[in-house]
Amino acid sequence: MTAPARPPYATGWRLFWRAVRGRAFPRIIALRRQRDWLVLDIVLPLMSVAAYVFVYRALRAPEAYIGFVILGGAMTAFWLNVLWGMATQLFWEKQSGNLPLYIMSPAPLMALLLGMAVGGMANTTARATAILLLGGWLFGVDFQVTAWLPLLAVFVLTLSALYGLGMVSASLFLLSGRGALHISALAQEPVYLLSGFYFPVKALPFWAAAAGSLIPLTLGMDAMRQLSFPDGPTFGLWSVRVEVAALAVMTVVFLALARWTLAVMERRARRDARLTARMD
């Protein structure tokens, strides 16, 4: 009696997508198993959003600002996930001792990070949706979306460019050692300002708004606000077409740059063992 033939090892794209699925699964399943974190990630951001809503209403700001705040509060979940769940991911894996396993694995690092991004994106989307729905209900926000397909396209392009930026940052933060934590903390609040999370980015000086446009969230939120509210185009920085084109370019550039930086880092680690043997 002959033993059954052993299935061949996956290679190429099969290996890539299996690695993506394997790394995405734990983060997706955690959405169902860790419900206490889900409550914290919804209630606490809503408190921050409520503060801005009450300030705008006390100042008698245009009602569109209330919707801008709700949408910005929902999108903060994605920025924090990219900053702390993607950009610092390889650094934390190094600290926990898992990075050598990733380097020795036949699966490419980009597949592993993409799996983490897909899992984190699914998890964060559920939280952002809850913030959007609860915030809209509590504060009576009137979303008037007339073009759902362009809105969905802008949302997908924004997340693609944003998580591509997170992959690029993952390798750069790893090389910086413990400085990665300081860089992450330093980048959190300035992006809140430059991306206009709680106000139209058009209110910034032009040079600051132009600099903020290099961040995918800035253009993505500005376009989504224009497509979600009747007064959105009045407060828009650029036209939606320009912002969609810029997001598409950012997606291609960041993903290509992420592939290159991760490949360089992986070759360096295999050759010199500097990323796993060096003490921070």
Three-state helix/strand/coil letters over the chain: CCCCCCCCCCCHHHHHHHHHHHHHHHHHHHHHHCHHHHHHHHHHHHHHHHHHHHHHHHCCCCCHHHHHHHHHHHHHHHHHHHHHHHHCHHHHHHHHCCHHHHHHCCCCHHHHHHHHHHHHHHHHHHHHHHHHHHHHHHHCCCCCCCCHHHHHHHHHHHHHHHHHHHHHHHHHHHHCCCHHHHHHHHHHHHHHHHCCCCCCHHHCCHHHHHHHCCCHHHHHHHHHHHHHCCCHHHHCCCCHHHHHHHHHHHHHHHHHHHHHHHHHHHHHHHHHCHHHHCCC
Residue 246, pLDDT > 90, answer: yes
Mean pLDDT of 39-49: 79
pLDDT higher for 202 or 28?
A: 202
- pLDDT at residue 8 is higher than 90: no
Which pLDDT value is given to residue 35?
66
How many degrees, rounded to 5, is the angle at CA 62 between CA 73 and CA 134? 35
**In sequence order, what are the residues at sequence separation of 6 or more whose Cβ sits closer than 8 angstroms to the Cβ of residue 178?**
280
Whether the Cβ atoms of residue 67 and residue 143 lie closer than 8 Å to each other: yes
Angle, helices 240-272/216-228, rounded to nearest 10 degrees: 150
Rounded mean pLDDT, 107-117: 83
Tell me the mean pLDDT in the region 100-110. Answer: 79
Percent of the chain whose predicted confidence (pLDDT) is above 90: 18
Is 45 a residue whose pLDDT tops 70? yes
Predicted local confidence at residue 26, as pLDDT: 81
Average pLDDT over residues 130-148: 86
pLDDT band at 216 (very low <50, low <70, confident <90, very high): very high
d(CA 46, CA 24): 27
- Predicted pLDDT at 252: 94
Nearest CA among 274, 279, 214, 203 for reference residue 250: 214
- Are residues 180 and 88 in contact, defined by beta-carbon separation less than 8 angstroms? yes
Alpha carbons 221 and 240: distance in angstroms, whole number = 11
Query: What confidence score (pLDDT) does residue 93 get?
Result: 78
Where residue 251 falls among pLDDT bands split at 50, 70, 90?
Answer: very high
* Position with higher pLDDT, 98 vs 203: 203
Which of 170, 166, 217 has its CA nearest to residue 191?
Answer: 217
pLDDT score for 56: 92
- Is the predicted pLDDT of residue 244 greater than 90, yes or no? yes
CA atoms 218, 221, 224, 228: torsion sign: negative
232 has pLDDT over 80: yes
How confident is the model at residue 276, as a pLDDT? 45
Give the pLDDT mean for 161-166: 88
Cβ proximity of 191 and 183 under 8 Å: no
Instruction: Kindly state the average pLDDT of the residues 80-100.
Output: 78
Q: Distance between CA 81 and CA 87 in Å, rounded? A: 9
Contacts of 254 (CB under 8 A, 6+ apart): 161, 164, 165, 167, 168, 216
Q: Is the pLDDT of residue 61 over 90?
A: no
CA atoms within 13 A on the CB side of 198: 17
**Does pLDDT of 278 surpass 50?**
no
Question: How high is the mean pLDDT of the chain?
Answer: 82
Say which residue, 221 or 102, is predicted with more confidence. Answer: 221
Residue 279 — very low, low, confident or very high, per pLDDT cuts 50/70/90? Answer: very low
Percent of the chain at pLDDT > 70 equals 87
The per-residue pLDDT for 226 is 92
